[in-house]
Every structure is written in structure tokens, then in C-alpha cells.
Chain A
Amino acid sequence: MLKKRLIPKFLLRDGKLVKYTRFVDDERMAGNPVTTAKVYNDYGVDELIVLDIVPSEAPRAGVVGIIERMSEEIFVPFTVGGGVQSLESVNALLRAGADKVSVNSHAVRQPAFVSEAARQFGDQCITVSIDYKQVSPTSRRVFIDGGREATALDPIEWAQRCQDMHCGEILMTSIDHDGTMRGYDLDAIHALSARLDVPLIVSGGCGSLQHAIDALEAGASAVAISSMFLFTDNSPIKLRSHLASRGLDVRVSTSSRN
């Protein structure tokens, strides 16, 4: 049967791998994205997600170059996003070697873009990335432009609309949990996975092996992880064997390094 996926998530700023807490605080440098991607490929991760966090109209040449070099080094699928606003940008990233392109703020501003992109490039190519915050004990709201601008959208309703517009999967990131390493937003994962037919990748808060198990058992198809892999000794190898030992259906890596 289909395996649960382990996906390191990279944030790029000016071509460097970086990491924050709650999107803005506590910037840390985390190295060279191409060499780090190669190491993760050797670890046998299932996919990679790469997000360029400085928005711009079109993917900058530097980012395209990094994607091209990554695609020479890694033989697992990878999703690329950050500031994507046009079909031309989607095409440029796919031609550079990306397998899927993620769309975030532009999808909110111009929802028809999701269906246009899905129609042109195939449903499976278009991931909608949704960043959200808990704004009161009972409500969550979608934020765009890297968490700077609030919207009136409920993330679960928005995800369902994106699915109706033929996105291939949803990447859901809790801004409140991002970088905190205190666990995923399990309530939101439960609520969304029950209402979604497309795969759900969850992001924000993974700090222990148990956190990943919790998210997958709550209904996520895949866990996106950055801080834990970058800053602790919990590697993808360790996580994979832990998940397998707990009976979760993950891929058996064939890498000789495992």
C-alpha cells in the first residue's frame, strides 16, 4: 500500500538555507541547499520541498540555478515554491527540474489561477500551500505574504476550495507551531484530513519522533520537517526506522548508508 512520506522542507533566502521560528523570529543559517539536499537524498528521504521565502514576480535566476543543480543530485521528487504568480513561473520551475510547484498568496488573490495551472500542467503538479494562525480559541485564519497579511479565509474551507479547483495536494503550515518543535497542530490535521480527498502534507512544529507519529496518525499523508532534521540528531534515517518499528507503513530505504 501507499507509504506515509517523510519530507524535509527547505527555506531559501538569497540562495542560503535558513530557518525561523513562527516565520519571522530567530533567523538561523542552515547551510548550502544543494549539498544538504544531496545528503538527504543519500538518507533516503521520500521527497523534498523547497520554498524561496523572498517573494518576487518571477523566480529569480539564482533560484532556478539552485533547482537545476538540485535536480542533478537528487532522485526523489521535489516541490518548489515561493512567490509563484504566473503560468510562466510554474513552467520555468518545472523546466528547471521541479516535479511540483507550490502556490500560496497568489492562489488567495486569484483563485482561478489554481485551476488554470492544474489544467495546463496536470493536477498532480500543483500544490497549494496554506499558512494559517489560530486567531481565537475557535477560529483559524489563512495568512499570506509569508505570514504578514491576514485574510478572512478559514484554512479548512480554503483547502476544500483548492481541492475543488484541482490542486494535487495541500501543504498546510501552522505559523503558530513553525520552528517551535513542540508538535504539530493535531486538531487542524484531524479536521482537515477528514474533509480532504487529495493528500495532505503537514508542516510546523515537529521536534521529536513521536510528533511525526502523532501527525501521521491524525490523518496526514506526509510530514514536512525542517528544524528537527537541521538542528537535532533525529535524522531521516532514525525517524524512518522508528516509524517502521511502530507499525507505520513507510518506505524501506535501499540505501547502503542505512
Chain B
Amino acid sequence: MPGVAIIDYGMGNVRSVKNAVECRGYDAVITADAAQIADASHIILPGVGAFESAMINLRRGNLIETLEGSVRRQGKPMLGICLGMQVLAKGSTEHAESRREHQGFGWFDADVVRIETVRADLKIPHMGWNNITKEREHPILANIGDKNLNFYFVHSYHMKCRNKADVVAFANYGVPVTAVVAKDNIVATQFHPEKSQDSGIELLGSFLSWNP
């Protein structure tokens, strides 16, 4: 039976994502296996940690080609979460001690850059609950009222999109922080829906019933 493939590439807490998906009554498998990913109806790319390690692990598991096939060519809906959103950009400046940028998937015309706070009392990482403001509508946010658009963030870098149409929502942290991006069958959140209680579970439910 087709379910959700949660991509396992050794970056962070995938168990929470599975628990959150299952509490909405969907089947989920944590996997790096191309056949299981091909069988899934929806794909979630989670991720916590550093950009460079994530890309190394994804390349090592041949997962970039697998996802190119399932998501870009076959059009399966995919949700990227946190670092799983950031890797979809062209590149990141995180831990880039050399001047070379780390290469990402390049699915979004965007770079991942450190959040530049403008006030001393705004700490980095941007850690905790923040509200988001919609730039446009998207099915994954359709069932959540504006006052409940509160999600759990934990990150020091964020995606800067060159194409404004890719941005679905920002969070305000003194500066606008890119919170949700979407294009075609791909959507991604900087925050963690699996850790954002009722609002996050609702978002995951909407994603899992989304058939673009």
C-alpha cells in the first residue's frame, strides 16, 4: 500500500516525523531504499544538522538521483523540512571556511545564508515558536487559521530566494526569515511541523492529502 517515504540519510530525528505522520493515520516508512521511495505516494525529506554533512550523506546514498526521478520527473509531492528545505537551494555558505559554496540540489533559485539579526536581543539560532505571514495561499496551510500559524523553528541559516514567487510565507525575526517555499509539487518548511503540535500535525495532514 503506498504510503509516505521519510528519507533516512543520517541527519537528525526522523522518528518524530514518522510518529507525527502516523498520528494522522498514514503509513510511513523511514528509508533510503530507491524501490521503497518509488513505491511511496508522498515523500518527506527531513533533516537536522549541517548542510555539508547532509549533502555528503545524500550523495553517498545516491539519493539525489533517486529524488530527481521520483519528485522532479514523476511528480510525487515532496515536503522538505528544515535542512531538508535548505538542501533544495543552489548552495549554502554554512561552515564555508573555504570560499567555495556548498552545492545543493538547485531546485530553487536560492542561496542558504546566515540570518543577519539587526538587534542584539535577537539571539542566533532562531530557536522557538514564531508566527508566519503568508505571501500567498498554499494547500498545506489551507486548514490552519491565521492566528494558529505558529511553528517551531531552530536554525541559524535560511533560504534566500531570488524568485519571489517561490516564497509562500515568512517569519519575522527583526528581518524576514523564509519560512515556507513551494514550486510545482515541491513544498518545504524551515520550521518543524512534527514539533509544532496541533498546527504542525494539521500541516502534515494537508500535505499528505495534497495531490498536485
Contacts and interface: CB of A to CB of B under 8 A. Distances in A.
B77 interface: no
Given A1-B173, A251-B150, A124 B50 contact: no
Of listed B16, B20, B173, residue having the most chain A CB within 10 A: B16
Contacts of B16: 71, 75, 97, 99
B30 to A, nearest CB: 11
Given A97-B19, A252-B147, 8 more contacts: A75-B16, A99-B16, A124-B125, A168-B125, A168-B154, A199-B123, A254-B197, A255-B197
A98 B13 contact: yes
Interface of B: 12-13, 15-16, 19-20, 23, 48-50, 53, 83, 121-131, 147-148, 150, 152-156, 172-173, 192, 194-201
A99 B13 contact: yes
A196 B49 contact: no
Interface residues of A, number: 42
Contacts of B147: 252
B198 A123 contact: no
Interface in A1-27: 1-5
A221 B172 contact: no
16 contacts: A1-B130, A2-B126, A2-B173, A4-B128, A71-B15, A75-B197, A76-B152, A77-B195, A99-B48, A123-B125, A124-B125, A124-B154, A124-B156, A169-B125, A169-B127, A252-B150
A122 B12 CA distance: 9
Contacts of B198: 254-255
A222 interface: yes
B123 A123 contact: no
A41 interface: yes
B124 A75 contact: no
A255 B121 CA distance: 30
A171 interface: no
